[in-house]
Amino acid sequence: MMEDQDMHRFYLFFLATVCSFGFMNPVFSGSTPDIEHPLYQDGELIIPRVDTPAQAGRYQDVQLQFNAAANTWTLTNFRDSLIVPGQGVYLDQVETIVIESFPVQVLLKVSGNFPSGCGGFGQINQRMQSNKFEIAMHHALIPPGTLCTMALVPFEKIVPLQVYGLPAGTYEYNINGELTGTFSLSKDNQL
């Protein structure tokens, strides 16, 4: 068990990390969460998404409660959304669509299957590191006790990439660690 002082340091570190990720990495979702940005109300801080070095949107719906008397934050809830390739959402292929308007738009048309009749998407997170987009397509939560057919259900999903403001060059993308590809911008993509 952590000592109280160590736990306090952990919470402060966690809060600082979460806030910095929240402001440095924009949340972009094909299906919008209940809130799209951190929300503070009545001593409770709700953060819809926390990235880790390994995955965009690894932790979701993080809730911290402030205790004014002790001047501390307590982590009260979070959801671990680890993506394991081949589980949750079955991805088959991706098509890159570059719309040559100006500024250029880049869309990924992703097709695959949900593992059951209760399929759906939760958050769809993206971030860019170097010249590589990392996209995390999360399966929606299925409420306990829900009866689902066990048949695969096909889907197609369009994921717009955040390419406005990027300099000319070649960019990569990776979806759930499974599908990869590249596209190029022939000139700087800003007005």
Long-range CB contacts (< 8 A, 24+ apart) of 137-145? 137/30, 137/83, 137/89, 137/91, 137/110, 137/175, 137/176, 138/57, 138/60, 138/81, 138/83, 138/88, 138/89, 139/88, 139/89, 139/114, 140/31, 141/79, 142/116, 142/118
Contact 108, 96 (CB under 8 A): yes
Name which residue leads in pLDDT, 100 or 110.
110
pLDDT in tens, 81-102: 998 877 778 999 999 999 989 9
The pTM score is 0.74
pLDDT of the residue at 62? 95
Give the count of domains, the chain: 2
The answer for residues whose C-beta is within 8 angstroms of residue 6's C-beta and 6 or more apart is none
Q: Which domain holds residue 171?
A: 90-185
pLDDT of the residue at 4? 56
Same domain for 148 and 177, yes or no, is yes
| Domain end (from 80, 113, 135) | 80
Same domain for 61 and 128, yes or no, is no
| Domain end (from 58, 80, 102) | 80
Same domain for 178 and 98, yes or no, is yes
In a domain, 191, yes or no: no
Strand ranges of the sheet holding 169-175, from the earlier edge strand across to the other edge: 121-129, 132-139, 169-175, 179-185
Q: Determine the average pLDDT of the residues in 159-184.
A: 96
Q: Determine the average pLDDT of the residues in 60-76.
A: 94
- pLDDT above 50 for 15: no
Task: Give the DSSP H/E element, type plus range, for residue 125.
Answer: strand 121-129
Same domain for 75 and 112, yes or no, is no
Same domain for 55 and 103, yes or no, is no
Q: Determine the average pLDDT of the residues in 120-134.
A: 94
Same domain for 121 and 67, yes or no, is no
Give the torsion sign (CA, 36, 10, 58, 130). positive
Same domain for 96 and 176, yes or no, is yes
Contact 151, 24 (CB under 8 A): no
pLDDT of the residue at 103? 94
| Domain end (from 80, 102, 137) | 80
Residues in a beta bridge with 175: 135, 179
